[in-house]
Structure formats: structure tokens, C-alpha cells
Amino acid sequence: MDRRIEIQVRADENKKRLEDVLLDRFRALSKLYLRKLVKHGKCEVNGRLENRGYRLRENDFIEIHLNPDRQNSMVPEDLHLDVVHDDPEFVIINKPVGMLVHPSHRDKSGTVLNALAFLLNQTSGAGHIRPGLVHRLDRETSGLLVISKNTRSHRRLAIQFERRLVEKKYLAMVDGSMAADAGVVDHRIGRFATEKRWDVKVDGRFAETRFRVVKRYASRTLLELEPITGRTNQLRIHCAAIGHPIIGDATRGGSAFPRLCLHAEKLFFRHPSTWEPMTFEQDVNFGFADPTPDDRN
């Protein structure tokens, strides 16, 4: 049941955004839920409707109608995660194949965020930490994923991703032996509404992927892929478009395999507080047998 709750802005909240104060005051509630309340006129500042980016001042008066008992979709679950780096501002994990990053309308549990909601809040008295997604990996893609621990870090990391200041590199095992040692794929990508799929599309959005051959085998090639843009399924689409689909990507002609052979191997960004350069690397074993004698470097 909704309740009317009154909040007076504290001195330490002066000049903070309305959304950030609400997220801090109601840590058990989802960001999406709080945003909807502001959008639909359920929150007033000094008797006026303001947007979620409104800068508050000390002693401002916030009145909000919400259900404090509403269950957050990010239910904490004690699931194993491979933590690569744990920082006061963010955490880096090595996401396994088959694990969703966040809950969906079909899958409410078993995701990275469910696991982090539990992992990050085990320490009593530390205050509730709300894991925040800065970027995503597909369910079938493994590798490095950065998740923020507070709204300030989330915003600063998100800006780096938006401005393409983050360097991301993937390893992909593709079908066939590639002729070129390196190159660029820039086919446009768009959505085909009738088929409900993303693919190369003449009137799609510009997309660019750089590739470099790491190792050649008799019938497959290990590539390092760098997505310069971030379109939906970009790496899978671009590899298929040049005749070398990623192994395990059956929908785009890839050879059958127990997993999609795509892994987020490297991640570079600057620390959201100190601006220090941060580089992380995570190797992968796709599970192929040892190279045969006729394989070529």
C-alpha cells in the first residue's frame, strides 16, 4: 500500500540530484520504480513537480507517495561469482556462460545482479549497496563485466562508456581460416521487425568492429575483436557478415558447439574517483582439443 513520506534535504545532500537522494534514502527499492514515481507525478519538491535530475538544496522539502514494502526484483541470492577485482567504487567479475546479467520479465532469479545483491551486502553495518549495471554481456557471452557500487560511480563510469573512452576487447573462435591478419568491419546494423532479429541492414545504424588474428588453425581462427560502437549483437553479426561466424552461434551459421565462443577478455577504463587508468584481463579456454599437427600459427 502506498504511503505519503516526507523528507527534508540534509546539508550533505545539498546540490545532489533528486534521483540520487531517493536512491540513497530508499535503498531497498529499485531504481526503475523510483524513476516511475517521479515521472508520473508521485514526487514533489517544495510543492512542485521536478524531474529526477533536479538539483536539491539543503532544507528542501520532498513529498513522495510510494510503497516501502514493495519487493525489489533484485532479490539477493547466494550464487557463486568469479570476482576478479573488488573496489570500494565498483566490482569486476568474470561472468560465466549461460548467466543473465539482470532479471527479466521471464527470468526473475539466477542473474549476476541477484548474486551481487547478496555478495555486496553480506557485511553487517556496511549499509545497503545497490549494484548498478554500466554495460552488459549477452547470456551466452562470458568474460569481464564491471558493476558500480554507488550512483556517483555509476554515472562516471557510464559517461566513459557513452563517450567511448572505455576499451573493450573480446576473444572469438570463428569458423574458417581468415586470410587477412587484421581489418575493420563496418556494416550497418538494424532490427528487422517482422523477424524480430538484428542483422546487417542498409538503413541501420553505423557499426564498427576491429579484428586481429591471434592464431590460425586448420578450420577455425582465434580472433581478437574490438567493438568501436556498441550495437546489439554487433560482434556476432559482423563475424557472420564476413563469412566467419562465431563457433556456437547456430542462428548465424556458426558450427555446433557446447557454448558460444565469445569472451570479453580485456577491459580498460579510468577509476571513477581517482581517474587512475585501470586495465583488467581474463583469459579463456573455449574447450577445444589440443591443436592438430596441421594447424597453422
- Tell me the catalytic residues: 138
Q: How many CA atoms lie within 13 A of 22 on its CB side?
A: 32
Strands of the 61-66 sheet, one edge to the other: 3-8, 61-66, 43-45, 48-49
Q: What whole-number distance in Å separates Cα of residue 165 and Cα of residue 172?
A: 23
Q: What whole-number distance in Å separates Cα of residue 120 and Cα of residue 81?
A: 11
Task: Give CA torsion, residues 8, 9, 11, 17, to 10 deg.
Answer: 180
H or E element in which residue 45 lies: strand 43-45
Amino acid letter, residue 128:
H
Q: What SS3 state is found at 159?
A: helix
What lies within 8 Å, CB to CB, of 259 at 6+ separation is: 97, 98, 140, 142, 248, 286, 287
How many C-beta atoms surround the C-beta of residue 219 within 10 A?
A: 13
H or E element in which residue 239 lies: helix 234-241
Q: What does each C-alpha distance from 125 to 23, 27, 120, 253, 276 come to in angstroms? A: 18, 14, 12, 52, 29
What lies within 8 Å, CB to CB, of 34 at 6+ separation is: 19, 22, 23, 26, 66
